[in-house]
Chain A
């Protein structure tokens, strides 16, 4: 147990800026520190409650994937600038991170991509689609006049 705890201590206090992130990226450069920060920020956007939050659902990896593959070079650049600026709240409390994100405008490219992709990843996650907002691959029916339960 000591070793485990010690291991975690070391892991969280280590500098990962030179380490590669846990998924391969082809277009943008992010390091493991950036990944760590993103995992905190997506968790702030969609936190763990009585159900899993964004970090547990690996939505920071989804944000990174979409940033890498599905974002224009101009927006990638702006995102990286926004991420750099957000480093000041790395490791801070959820309240402080929340206050930081709320102070960003909706037109802020970094915030816009981060939030939009987090929500997209969340709604389309296996957990949500199987447990919360059920997605049916094979509905097998159509009713054009279904009564809504009051």
Chain B
């Protein structure tokens, strides 16, 4: 029996364990496997194989039973996820339903999740912008959170590295606040977006409108073809999973690449309960897993552990990893674990119409979505009564319409001869929120899920800084729209809860000082350096960029560090 146990333990021992297979976990897995480490990837959800498990990907609109609407009962049963813009008949199977995985909302928080191999990388909006030192230096300059322990120079080579492999389209815009990268050709602004760019850049010095940068193969390189991915075909049906691999996802890119090395073991349906800490060794030794279906409990072992379960779930796992040494959660000597959660404020939009350029339309579809306005507010110095600023999306569209007021053959004729309307334009804000101790997540004291893990209690809210910033965004955009000659300007403030931005960040923040942060400059837990957290949980502040690209770069950089530390015998 003893031998059997030893064998069994040996069979459950790897060089590295990665918790989570989404955008950051996929990268951790790829880098670890490429560097020769036998790597176990634990994914709590079901398996989703590229193409094979995209059941709706090639369906025409008439092939959807409800023409892409979700049944009334499904919408009623899922008030939270139903608020997500992509939760429709074509992609509902990739979203967590409200009742499947409950959580406790001390304050309203729409927690949008995708529990499957690939996680939310199948569903993301694919916008990719680099951080600059205007972002990394934010907390230190403006006196909030703690200073980031890294700067742009630390992460730049890793942005280069991940961009080359993932495939990022964009133009070299030469903006210090939004560094250029290793780009595939950018998608063009359309004629009205270009008009707005010229208006803004001539009338508002310092403000820019650029083509949105996105993780689409506008013109694939050999490295993308080698992944089995080909040029994006402008379907803009990405949330279904892409049969061309036209956009970056773990499923299309990093996971199959990792598998090809022969070093990857994928274990779907593996709910991570906690990380096992060995006090005598002074480090983590493995991970406790509950099988999602059988509820069987089992331990897996490794020299190094990457936590990539997505910001709040990574934090939950650390909080639930209690030991004699770490009674309040792994690495929580500072008491900062679970705190300083922040997000992006998406709660304002503005729309208008433009009566010019009527001799043009668009043809085909733009996977980038249109234009992007990098943060200009409080960029070089503090200039308002609120901290930080916002980036904004900007898009123009010209749709055709038909008068549908009649009934009978007049109606039919009208539907079959649509006319072009005037141009519509729209923008949404992506505001930085300030991480605060009072915005936190914690383990619920009583309630547990069906795997015996405490429910996560979320207590996150907007503050006065967010309200002021939101008003400034609307005022500023209204002024820019007015100066551009746009008409019928509509300000639209939503009361959406935090979380619906799906940019929740923090909970295990990086910092220089172990007394006020959880992770060091290499994403290692200060007091348990063979555990790395390289997803949104590690974010010290949020700035205004869509965060996924930064998590990819964090993961690749941290793996490089971990492998070197293993070689040196430091972890």
Contact = CB atoms under 8 A, between A and B. Distances in A.
Contacts of B67: 120-121, 124
B222 interface: no
Contact of B194 (A72, A125, A144): A144
A143 B407 contact: no
Contacts of A70: 66, 69-72
A65 B484 CA distance: 46
Interface string B409-421: 1011101101010
Interface stretch (B57-65, B158-166, B540-548): B57-65
A94 B408 CA distance: 9
Nearest to B73: A69
Interface in B345-380: 358-367
- Counting chain A CB atoms within 10 Å of each CB, the highest count among B62, B65, B237 belongs to B62
Interface stretch (B183-191, B318-326, B504-512): B183-191
B62 A47 contact: no
A123 B400 CA distance: 13
B361 A148 contact: yes
B366 A137 contact: no
Contact of B407 (A66, A115, A123): A115
A146 B233 CA distance: 18
Nearest to A121: B67
B415 A122 contact: yes
A142 B408 contact: no
Contacts of B71: 69-70
A117 to B, nearest CB: 9
Nearest to A146: B363
Given A121-B67, A142-B187, A148 B72 contact: no
A92 B1 CA distance: 85
Contact of A47 (B70, B189, B358, B409): B409
Contact of B364 (A44, A49, A51, A141): A141
B407 A148 contact: no
Contacts of B190: 144-145
Contacts of B412: 46-47, 49, 53, 122
B416 A133 contact: yes
B199 interface: no
Contacts of A122: 412, 415
Contact of B408 (A44, A121, A145, A148): A44
A139 interface: yes
A66 B66 contact: yes
B260 interface: no
A132 B72 contact: no
A79 B295 CA distance: 47
Contacts of B101: none
Contact of A129 (B60, B191, B365, B418): B60
Contact of B61 (A47, A124, A132, A140): A124
Given A65-B65, A125-B62, A143 B364 contact: yes
A47 B406 CA distance: 12
B193 interface: yes
Contact of A144 (B189, B359, B367): B189
B411 A46 contact: yes
Contacts of A101: 407
A144 B193 contact: yes
Interface string B451-486: 000000000000000000000000000000000000
- Counting chain B CB atoms within 10 Å of each CB, the highest count among A120, A137, A144 belongs to A144
Contact of A137 (B65, B70, B235): B235
Interface residues of B, number: 44
Contact of A69 (B66, B361, B415): B66
B407 A141 contact: no
A126 B58 contact: no
A142 B362 contact: yes
Contact of A126 (B60, B191, B194, B404): B60
Contacts of B191: 144-145
Nearest to B235: A138
A126 B66 contact: no
A142 B364 contact: yes
B234 interface: yes
A25 to B, nearest CB: 13
B408 A65 contact: no
B384 to A, nearest CB: 34
A119 B414 CA distance: 11
A139 B235 contact: yes
B408 A45 contact: yes
B360 A140 contact: no
A136 B61 CA distance: 10
Contacts of A126: 60, 62
Interface string A42-86: 001111010101000000000001100111100000000000000
Contacts of A65: 65-66
A124 B62 contact: yes
A67 B490 CA distance: 33
A83 to B, nearest CB: 16
A148 B188 CA distance: 18
Interface of B: 58, 60-62, 65-67, 69-73, 187-191, 193-194, 233-235, 237, 358-367, 404, 407-409, 411-413, 415-416, 418, 420
12 contacts: A102-B407, A128-B416, A132-B416, A136-B364, A137-B60, A140-B364, A141-B364, A142-B187, A144-B193, A148-B359, A148-B360, A148-B361
Given A126-B62, A140-B233, 16 more contacts: A46-B408, A46-B412, A70-B66, A70-B69, A98-B407, A98-B408, A115-B407, A120-B67, A132-B416, A135-B60, A137-B237, A139-B234, A139-B365, A141-B364, A142-B188, A148-B358
Interface of A: 44-47, 49, 51, 53, 65-66, 69-72, 94, 98, 101-102, 115, 119-126, 128-129, 132-133, 135-148
Ranked 9 nearest A-B pairs via Cβ: A144-B190, A141-B364, A146-B363, A145-B191, A142-B364, A139-B364, A143-B363, A69-B71, A139-B234
